[in-house]
Amino acid sequence: MGRLTGKVAIITGAANGMGAAEAKLFASEGAKVVATDLKEEALNEVVSEIKAAGGDAIGIKHNVASEEEWKQIVEDTVKRYGKIDILVNNAGVSTTMTIANLEMEQWNKVLDINLNGCMLGMKYAIPEMQKNGSGSVINISSIGGIVGMAGSSAYTAAKGALRAITKGAAVEFAKDCVRVNTVHPGIIETPMTAPSFKDATPYYKTFTQLPYFGKPEDVAYGVVFLASDESRFMTGAELVIDGGWTAL
């Protein structure tokens, strides 16, 4: 308890799955949380749960692909809490189309949310961290940003590019003590992956070495570590939480 006391965090995609788990855990560790998502009803439920547990959080409807909305999110956060210490770029979407069948509309949507949305978050949040003289950005990539995944070309392209831009930002802002790291989850049981779990023996079970799948909380614990001062000498790093998938 108290690992994030006094810190202010923006967490995108916080209405369910990993984002919701991160928002709840951050608040339980003392952070003031600005939770954002397009799913207002589910987001409000997360915020209500945080408040009921004694935490401090607000929920804001937010399209991460919109530059104007990012400006407003940062402005509203600073107005309410006075600063920004942590940014968790968690919002993301996927597609299962192959390259041969991929429509440009699908391609652009995935890149807009999974890559451009993260860039915009850094563009507007990091200057506030520079004012503080410190900060932590955690970009939620994927093992798809490290290894190939058939039928997920747009997703892996975005996550691989996010991995690369994170390293560039880490170098660029190290002098300001703003740390930028990626988290690479494997198969985590979330609403996005739920359809795949209907099969009694999911295809990817052969790749996850541990005899169980990951939960949103498994990722949230890693994100809290990167957000806290415990990881003060980590930047440009990749935290892989995948049950051993990439160990193959």
In a domain? residue 100: yes
Dist. CA 120–CA 66, nearest whole Å: 8
pLDDT beyond 70 at 180 = yes
In a domain? residue 3: no
pLDDT of residue 199: 61
pLDDT beyond 90 at 75 = yes
In a domain? residue 179: yes
- Give catalytic status of residue 81 as yes or no: no
Output the CA–CA distances (angstroms, integers) from residue 24 to 50, 55, 179, 216, 245, in the order listed. 6, 8, 22, 11, 27
In a domain? residue 37: yes
Dist. CA 50–CA 230, nearest whole Å: 24
Beta bridge partners of residue 182, listed in sequence order = 139, 238
Catalytic residue among 155, 203, 204, 221: 155
DSSP code string of 94-108: -----GGG--HHHHH
Domain carrying residue 156: 8-247
In a domain? residue 146: yes
pLDDT beyond 90 at 25 = yes
69 vs 207, more confident: 69
pLDDT beyond 60 at 142 = yes
Nearest to residue 154, comparing CAs of 198, 192, 100, 204? 100
pLDDT tens per residue, range 186-215: 988 876 666 666 665 555 566 688 888 899
Total domains in the chain come to 1
In a domain? residue 1: no
CATH number at residue 240: 3.40.50.720
pTM: 0.94
In a domain? residue 231: yes
Q: What percent of the chain has pLDDT over 90?
A: 81
In a domain? residue 197: yes
